[in-house]
Amino acid sequence: MLPVVSIVGRPNVGKSTIFNRLIGSRKAIVDDQYGVTRDRHYGQAFWNGREFNVIDTGGYQPDETDVIWDGVREQVHIAIRESDLILFVVDTEGGITSLDRSVARMLREEDTPVLLVANKADNEERAMNATEFYGLGFEELYPVSAINGRGTGDLLDKMVTLFPEEKEEEENSIPKLAIVGRPNVGKSSFINALLDDDRCIVTDIPGTTRDSIHSKLTYNDKDYILVDTAGLRKKANVDENVEFYSTVRTERALQNCDVAVLMLDAMRGFEKQDQRILKNATEYNKGTVMVLNKWDLVPEKDSNIHREFEEYVYSRVPRMEYVPIISASAITRQRIHKVLEVADLVLKERKKSISTSELNDFIYGILKKKPLPVRGEVQLKIKYCSQVKSNPPVFKFFMNRPEKLPTSYHRYIENRIREEYGFIGVPITLRFVQK
Ligand code: GDP
Ligand code: GDP
């Protein structure tokens, strides 16, 4: 699991500016749920070889002090519960305020590690003046300028040292299937259908994590962990913050699974949120299966209707035809086992490994069929290739001038590899390197 860093502090100290600096050019996920009064952002960052998640819970309308304090307090409470590290941001322009003191008091009582960040230290003089913030009672102080980047490298160096140790992946760990999708598509119903099923054996697993509810299931003599991302939402009161963190949980479940089972509602089609989940699963190199749930509600199920659904979904997201789509019903239990069987196939595909000699024979063949182009004065040449990794699969191609390889040729190779070897439901990575 990637560490989670939350940014807290009073309004206008520069939290969102710091957030943007940490995630850099990567795109943030904006919480755009109905009824949300504040912008909240969630994104991934990378420093010294460590990836982590950053949460900016956004600004509060600066109307009444009481309201601000309630908002900040709530934000700090959730951050303490959900994060591995908290950045407590203060403003060197404004100096210490009573709100800063209250937040400091709350944070000092908790075990979650906290770094005190004095923002807007745009120059040496301001960085010197920041020392007044030692008055908040933290041992260390990080003066930074989110605007010009001053001090942010030191801050990041320190942050990375405070993350929990990365655990080696256990060789024989049980594969995790994350059941993800929009609210009300039937995730809980689907999981319950499997848990109640005669052909599935359910084992309790002690100490479920704070992120999601896990169930262990045996089907056809194989073990799986089902990760339920809906459960927590159901338990909680309807609350904006809880909603936001459940989006964050979906992301973490995706990052931490082997196969993402993206549930869609056959009556509602394919929407922006589905597209985002699908794209992110691919970005994290996870196996993916799509389930068109509530198939029982589809009238006139002739043989073409499933294909039409497939074409519709694939037309909304380019280059995803390798992701299998299963129509199912959590209520009538139609094809719920098929979902497990296809997820199992995807797990196998993800582990598939092709020998270097076989792969090279195959690649030479397809290079012959469609010769590499000349770019500038140079005839592009691929010398050899090998699958350097499986689970997820990565292929490395050694060639002259990799930077000149056209995208269309990259796709040509990927498409031929898929035709020949399948890799059903699995993103494959092709790397072209200089040799
Ligand atoms: P938030 O409400 O805590 O998320 O604060 P914002 O990130 O929206 O920033 C509030 C204001 O402070 C904006 O006008 C920013 O441009 C400004 N600001 C943020 N970081 C810095 C900084 O490092 N130096 C200076 N001079 N201004 C900053
Ligand atoms: P979640 O929010 O994704 O966990 O969705 P739920 O499992 O709570 O289901 C939302 C609603 O859809 C409930 O009223 C379910 O009874 C209904 N539902 C779920 N799966 C199916 C299905 O396959 N067919 C039909 N007809 N209704 C379903």
- Residue 236 is predicted with a pLDDT of 43
Structure tokens at 310: 């497939």
Among the bound ligands, name the one nearest to the CA of residue 90. 1
Q: Which helix (H) or strand (E) holds 82?
A: helix 65-82
Measured CA to CA, the distance from residue 234 to residue 346 in angstroms comes to 29
Query: Is residue 412 part of an annotated ligand binding site?
Result: no
Q: 187-201 b/e with 16+ CB inside 10 Å = b?
A: bbbbbebbeebeebe
Ligand 1 atom closest to the CA of 58, numbered from 1: 4
Query: Is residue 14 part of an annotated ligand binding site?
Result: yes
Structure tokens at 332: 């009538």
Residue spans of beta strands (DSSP E) within 233-286: 259-265
Nearest alpha carbon, ligand 2 atom 22: 294
Question: Regarding the domain delimited by 4-161, which CATH topology (the fold level of the hierarchy) does it fall under?
Answer: Rossmann fold (3.40.50)
**Ligand 2 near 187 CB (within 6 A):** yes
Which residues touch 334 (CB under 8 Å, ≥6 apart)? 295, 296, 328
- Residue 153 is predicted with a pLDDT of 93
Nearest alpha carbon, ligand 1 atom 10: 12
Q: How far is CA 324 from the centre of its chain?
A: 20
Asked if residue 427 has a cis previous peptide bond (ω within 30° of 0), the answer is: no
Q: Which helix (H) or strand (E) holds 410?
A: helix 407-421
DSSP for 115-150, please give it: EEEEE---SHHHHHHGGGGGGG--S--EE--TTT-T
- Residue 282 is predicted with a pLDDT of 93
Mean pLDDT by 10 residues, the chain (435 residues): 87 89 72 51 86 77 60 76 90 92 91 95 93 94 95 95 72 82 89 89 62 79 87 47 68 90 92 88 94 92 85 90 96 96 97 95 95 91 94 95 94 96 96 93
- Residue 59 is predicted with a pLDDT of 53
Which residues touch 175 (CB under 8 Å, ≥6 apart)? 223, 224, 225, 258, 259, 347
**Ligand 1 near 251 CB (within 6 A):** no
Cβ-contact 217, 223 below 8 angstroms: yes
Measured CA to CA, the distance from residue 361 to residue 299 in angstroms comes to 49
Measured CA to CA, the distance from residue 242 to residue 220 in angstroms comes to 37
Ligand 1 atom closest to the CA of 56, numbered from 1: 4
Measured CA to CA, the distance from residue 115 to residue 124 in angstroms comes to 20
Cβ-contact 335, 328 below 8 angstroms: yes
State the number of CA atoms in the 13 A half-sphere of 264 facing the CB: 26
Among the bound ligands, name the one nearest to the CA of residue 120. 1
Measured CA to CA, the distance from residue 314 to residue 308 in angstroms comes to 10
Nearest alpha carbon, ligand 1 atom 24: 120
Closest by alpha carbon to 89, among 2, 3, 4, 5?
Answer: 5
Residue spans of beta strands (DSSP E) within 22-148: 29-30, 41-47, 50-56, 85-91, 114-119, 142-143
**Ligand 2 near 267 CB (within 6 A):** no
Ligand 2 atom closest to the CA of 183, numbered from 1: 2
Every domain of the chain with CATH number 3.40.50.300 lies at: 4-161, 176-350
Q: Cα dihedral sign for 313, 317, 319, 325?
A: negative
Which residues touch 348 (CB under 8 Å, ≥6 apart)? none
**Ligand 1 near 151 CB (within 6 A):** no
**Ligand 2 near 233 CB (within 6 A):** no
Respond yes or no on whether ipTM tops 0.85: no
Every domain of the chain with CATH number 3.30.300.20 lies at: 356-434
Ligand 2 atom closest to the CA of 181, numbered from 1: 3
Q: How far is CA 407 from the centre of its chain?
A: 25
How far apart are the CA of 15 and the centre of ligand 1, in A? 7
Cβ-contact 141, 130 below 8 angstroms: yes
Among the bound ligands, name the one nearest to the CA of residue 13. 1
Question: Coil, helix or strand for 213?
Answer: strand
Measured CA to CA, the distance from residue 435 to residue 344 in angstroms comes to 37
Q: 100-124 b/e with 16+ CB inside 10 Å = b?
A: beebbebbeeeeebbbbbbbbbbee
Measured CA to CA, the distance from residue 72 to residue 76 in angstroms comes to 6
Whole-structure pTM value: 0.70
Our mutation pick for probing the ligand 2 site, out of 187, 189, 227, counting the most ligand atoms within 8 A of Cβ, is 189
How far apart are the CA of 371 and the centre of ligand 2, in A? 51
- Residue 26 is predicted with a pLDDT of 63
- Residue 332 is predicted with a pLDDT of 96
**Ligand 2 near 234 CB (within 6 A):** no
356-434: CATH architecture: 2-Layer Sandwich (3.30)
Measured CA to CA, the distance from residue 6 to residue 245 in angstroms comes to 11
Q: How far is CA 346 from the centre of its chain?
A: 19
Report the CATH number of the 176-350 domain: 3.40.50.300
How far apart are the CA of 152 and the centre of ligand 1, in A? 14
Our mutation pick for probing the ligand 1 site, out of 7, 8, 12, counting the most ligand atoms within 8 A of Cβ, is 12
**Ligand 2 near 186 CB (within 6 A):** yes
- Residue 66 is predicted with a pLDDT of 63
